[in-house]
Amino acid sequence: MTDEKAVKAALPSGAGSHYLPLLNKVTPEIAQSVSSLDFPGVYEKNFFQRYYPQPQSNAQLLGFMGQNAKDPEGGYEGRAGIERQYEKDLAGDDGKVLVLKDAKQNSLKEIKQIEPEVPGKDVALTIDSRLQYLLYKELEKAGRLQKARWSTGMIVDVQTGEVLALSTWPSFNSNNLNEMTGENQRNRALLDVFEPGSVMKPFTVAAALDSGKYTPTTLIDTNPGSIRVRGYTIRDHNNLGMINMATLLQKSSNVASTKIALSLPADAISNMQRQFGFGSKTPLQFPGEGSGLIVTPKEKETSRRATVSYGYGLQVTLAQVAQAYSALAAGGVMHPLTLIKDDKSQPSKRIMAHEQAMSIVQMLESVTEPGGTAKAAAIDGYRVAGKTGTSRRINPDGGYYTDQYRNVFAGMAPASNPKLVGVMLIEDPRGQIYAGLTVAPVFHNVMKEALRLYNVPLDKPLKTEAQ
């Protein structure tokens, strides 16, 4: 028997009380459990929403939909990522029709079409879902293992500039926005800027070669393993003595980088960094993308000239690092990064002589070989070139943290004829502190599988186990 008083107490009263949502934005299966009861006055109102496959690995890239404030009756629009960037293409246009209405605003007749309906277009991305999932899982595994704040990475096709994978951990389920926070929705590779550290040293070498004052075999005296610049001491991990350019990169010498910087015009290294795309947004033009900052030191700013040479005193995005290493791998040709399949909107351009670019790639091979800082990045059967970067995190209160680091690895394979570039970053790892131990293994795991998936021929004999 119905308790009328209880029913009346449960129902809303006052303005708007004629409408009471029983269930809001639920799946058709749940709605059916209520509608099948055929209650008088209970009706359904349908709405549509996106369903995202592989939601965690794609969340920050694809973005999400939100209700359009101008169309609260069910209109949705892209609020972040690709959904926002290509909202106009994806949504199309409803068009406009001149309608005759009566005094009660009931439509009586369509008179004529004022603006035609424009159907939405599909947007085909360059992302390979296999690599995307693999990259995310490796970033997640390394991030959890190192108890890091976050990790992010990219895989780029050297010859086209197409981004094959781009992901960040931690992520969220884009089919359930209740999991989304201000932190896990950030596409770190494109939005976050940071001091890159030693991954910038190849571009210091590029400036040296471009100057004509240096060749790959030029020797630089790093004795006694340190150098004083304007009251500051810049050190290497140990005294490397007389070294050439390849050893500078293999051992990541700050002293040799400093000596190159101080021997060149004050703007030489900064100009080379800009030439490789640092300091400007990439052609991806992703919503909220960072542009970074490259500052040109003055002639008397010797300490700044030094620090810029080994990746401090500037800000970059990981996407810029990927673009720059892709240009090196392509023999000095900058193929604009793209996320859209068959996008030819921006032309490629040569930014460095082929011979010089490939000589740097050859030098970078030593980094993944015995004696280098990233032996864990090596892949059996392939020549791998790359560079580690282990930099201190900035302390908001001034200076740098003494116990917090940022690890970056940028690499390419096969080095004899590079096909793919991979860049990875782990923020504030707590297990290990060096990039060669934290992020180089991520590169190895992802790139090894990528080379297999794309049937890239071996360029190095496979190792044979001792009998």
Residues with Cβ < 8 Å from 10, sequence gap 6 or more?
A: none
The CB density around residue 101, as the number of other CB atoms within 10 Å, is 10
Say which of 167, 198, 270, 359 is annotated catalytic: 198
The encoded tokens of residue 80 equal: 């972040």
Q: Nearest 5°: CA angle at 448, between 444 and 452?
A: 175
The number of angstroms, rounded, from the C-alpha of 317 to the middle of its chain's C-alpha atoms is 8
3-state secondary structure of 144: helix
Side-chain-side CA neighbours of residue 236 (13 Å): 26
Distance CA 281, CA 390 (A): 24
DSSP string, 423-457: EEEEES-SS---HHHHTHHHHHHHHHHHHHHTTPP
Residues in the chain: 467
Distance CA 416, CA 412 (A): 10
Residue (of 312, 360, 325, 326) closest to 196 by Cα position: 312
Q: Is the peptide bond before 170 cis (omega within 30 degrees of 0)?
A: yes
Residues with Cβ < 8 Å from 282, sequence gap 6 or more?
A: 190, 289, 317, 319, 320, 323, 336, 337
Residue (of 462, 373, 446, 370) closest to 413 by Cα position: 446
Distance CA 413, CA 277 (A): 21
| Whole-Å CA distances, 152 to 110, 135, 425, 426 | 53, 9, 5, 7
The encoded tokens of residue 207 equal: 């400036």
Catalytic: 326?
no
Distance CA 16, CA 239 (A): 79
Q: Provide φ and ψ at 449, rounded to 5°.
A: -75, -35
Q: Which residues are catalytic?
A: 198
